Amino acid sequence: MTTAAITPFPPGFLWGGATAANQLEGAYDADGKGLSIQDVAPQGIEGPRTPAPTPDNLKLVGIDFYHRYEQDIALFAEMGFKVLRLSIAWSRIFPHGDDAIPNAKGLAFYDRVFDACARHGIAPLVTLSHYETPLHLAEQYNGWVSRDLIGFYERYVRVLFDRYGSKVKFWLTFNEINSVLHAPFLSGAISTPKDQLSLSDLYQAVHHELVASALATRIAHEMIPDAKVGCMILAMPIYPLTPHPADVLAAMQADHLNLMFGDVHARGCYPGYALRYFREHGITLDITDEDRECLTNTVDFVSFSYYMSVCETADPGSQRTAETNILGGKNNPTLKASEWGWQIDPAGLRIVCNQFWDRWGKPLFVVENGLGAKDRLVEVDGVRTVLDDARIAYLNDHLVALGEAITDGVQVLGYTAWGCIDLVSFTTAQMSKRYGFIYVDRNDDGTGTLERYKKKSFDWYAEVIATNGASLRREGLRTTASCLSS
């Protein structure tokens, strides 16, 4: 008699991977697609914008998923994916964002992608807006600062729900919606340079996105009764740098700036600490009664990305600035970091899961997590591969922590590993910052064959999925590989 392997992951747990259109599709001007804000940001969030697309922008070609999706989805299926997170490029559907009629060829492309997913039994999890707003909306309207964007977004999502409602049951409204506070152009399509942008304009953009998100939730529920809609938040636990109460308070207040987004999505109104923040920072917002009513359309689940934690301190002289995924913070002296300086903290995932569940009581979905690292293609027994033990260790430890959160009683719907196939980095726009189970032969200078190769982590993840997490190694934390620095 065999005993079933022990796993904290519930039956039907949605294992899979996550991607975004602008980072993998390429074909930036094919079949009627308009320009998106990413097409003029060749160096990621810190670099300058270019007046027009330039050949050094790796996203213009991406990994050519636009032409290779069949093969890539077949590889995901080989790993046993139950779900694939991908986004729809808004400018493929509405090339300028404010067009009256959608682009038929853009719509047909995603039909082909969703049909390929269906053939492999993979459920799509679709992000409506993932850092790829049509450029025209940035240039003509100043992005989400303008209330007009709510109407354009509504037109866009109605078209998508109508067209794909029978094929897509999981929807996310905005990727990492809280990142607009730190990356106004790439997150909120706001053309005003960050240093000239007033807090009132910034939070007005936030408000418009929050209303648009609630509106999309309401419309999805009306048009696709069996759909589940989630918000998507950049989650980054903020620990006090010391046990000093002033540091604990500083950490709480920094956390509030992020938690506000989940509070509005899950509770349907602005929390008191946000109203105080607006008052004390001279932020005046145009919030109508209709907006307030709209915000009461709360999400079905809360999804988030998780890569790292940071610290906060009340000490204005603290020099411990951390390299982070967009949001700021201070370095934690107890943690190691990736090659890009992102601090590795598996326990933080358990902490954030508990915090969100306790706070909102909504099911969670981990829709991004992974290790960005340099990979080296080698030959083993005549087969080209990557021996990515550091990535396996990172993912193992985070999944063990997620299992602990589930054992704590947190309801988690699924987990999609970020960049399940190598794609162009968001923050640095490099190819060399790789996350995938599948290596793509493309380099930072744009050279490469675009051929795909399975990494060691490919078989490892396939086994995790096949055993519903029972194959994970719980003994000791393994994130100690040589590529990590202290």
Task: Give the residues lining the site for ligand BGP (CB under 6 A).
Answer: 20, 175-176, 234, 305, 325-326, 368, 372, 418, 425-428, 433
- The whole-angstrom separation of Cα 436 and Cα 482 is 19
| Three-class DSSP category at 261 | helix
Q: Which long-range contacts (CB under 8 A, 24 or more apart) does 278-286 make?
A: 278/203, 281/199, 282/199, 282/200, 283/199, 283/200, 283/203, 284/200, 285/200, 285/203, 285/204, 285/207, 286/147, 286/204, 286/207
> Per the residue annotation, which of 132, 312, 368, 404 is the catalytic one?
368
- Helices 456-466 and 389-407 cross at an angle (nearest 10°) of 20
Cα 112 to Cα 125: distance, rounded to the nearest angstrom: 15
The DSSP annotation for 180-242 comes to GGT-HHHHH---S-GGG--HHHHHHHHHHHHHHHHHHHHHHHHH-TT-EEEEEEEE--EEESS
CA 96 to CA 221: how far, in whole Å?
27
User: Least CB distance from residue 305 to ligand BGP, whole Å?
Assistant: 5
Cβ count near 50 (within 10 Å): 14
CA distance 481 to 461: 18
What is each CA distance from 364 to 30, 211, 396, 398, in whole angstroms? 36, 21, 19, 15
**Closer to ligand BGP by Cβ: residue 323 or 459:** 323
Rounded Cα gap, residues 100 and 315, in angstroms: 52
Tokens 């303008």 correspond to what residue? Answer: 146
**Would you give the DSSP letter of residue 437?**
S
- Closer residue to ligand BGP, CB minimum distance, 203 or 426: 426
φ/ψ of residue 433, rounded to 5 = -90, 95
> Shortest approach of ligand BGP to residue 427 CB, angstroms?
3
C-beta of residue 235 within 8 angstroms of C-beta of residue 257: no
Query: Is 176 among the catalytic positions?
Result: yes
280 is catalytic: no
The single residue of 132, 176, 209, 404 carrying the catalytic annotation is: 176
In angstroms, what is the minimal distance from the CB of 19 to ligand BGP? 9
Tokens of 166: 């029978």
Q: Which two tokens stand for residue 389?
A: 């033990």
Q: Output the six-digit token pair for 362.
A: 């909504």
As a whole number of angstroms, the distance between CA 210 and CA 295 comes to 7
Shortest distance in whole angstroms from residue 247 CB to ligand BGP: 26
Distance (Å, rounded) from C-alpha 213 to C-alpha 321?
32
The least CB distance from residue 235 to ligand BGP, in Å, is 11
In angstroms, rounded to a whole number, what is the distance separating the alpha carbons of residues 464 and 398? Answer: 13
- Whole-number minimum distance, CB 303 to ligand BGP, in Å? 11
Active site members: 176, 368
